[in-house]
Amino acid sequence: MRDETMVKDVMNGYESDLKKAHEHLLNEYQVIRAGRANPHILDRVMVDYYGAMTPLNQMANIQVQEARVLAVNVWDQSQLKNVEKAIQLADLGVQPTDDGKTIRLIFPALTEERRREIVKQVKKLCEDTKVAMRGARRDCLDMYKQMKKDNMLSEDEYNNLEDDVQKLQDRYIELCDKSSDAKEKEVMEI
């Protein structure tokens, strides 16, 4: 009656969706600035490199020089102006300065008000991730309901699977909450 491989495939797909959602949250948190210079803040900066939009980290070394200073060493010096322009267009809240060889980004210290805004952003990202996870849970349970309706699962088997799905959901929600708490603590640290 019960098709074990189909049941496992649905559960594995669900867990994969939860894992991807959590990894996405962690990647978003890497980009958020927390008072210190973080090279990941430049991950989304795209530069017009001879007509092709190229990620900055594929055409330059990005290093933390001091706690609040990033140095961008462009490999092709002829592209220095394009890189500077791309950083300005990215609207990172910091003005690039260029000495002819290196572009420096000096991050100002965060004010209390700005820290609170960032914490709100951190919480919103966490909540958005939880919403995505709840959507994945709904999709998984819908598949199991269909299997029950098609007499591939008994009522008891469905109830057990529903419990397993909820336990997995709770585990990943807890991971998101821990990640969020850690990021909030990092942001509020002076």
Same domain assignment for residues 72 and 16: no
What is the distance between the alpha carbons of residues 53 and 99, in angstroms, rounded to a whole number?
24
Q: State the residue range of the domain holding 59.
A: 39-106
Q: Are residues 165 and 133 in the same domain?
A: yes
90, 106, 122 — which closes off a domain?
106
Could you tell me if 133 and 19 are in contact, meaning their C-beta atoms sit under 8 angstroms apart?
no
Query: pLDDT digit string (tens) for 132-151?
Result: 999 999 999 999 999 999 98
Residue 157, domain CATH: 1.10.132.20
Question: Are 10 and 52 members of one domain?
Answer: no
Q: Domain holding 98: CATH number?
A: 3.30.1360.40
Residue ending a domain, among 106, 130, 148, is: 106
Asked whether residue 123 falls in the same domain as residue 172, the answer is yes
CA distance 143 to 89: 45
Give the pLDDT band of residue 190 (cuts 50, 70, 90). Answer: low
Over residues 52-84, the pLDDT tens digits come to 888 888 888 888 888 788 898 989 888 888 888
- What was the pLDDT predicted at 120? 92
pLDDT of 3 > 90? The answer is no
Number of compact structural domains in the chain: 2
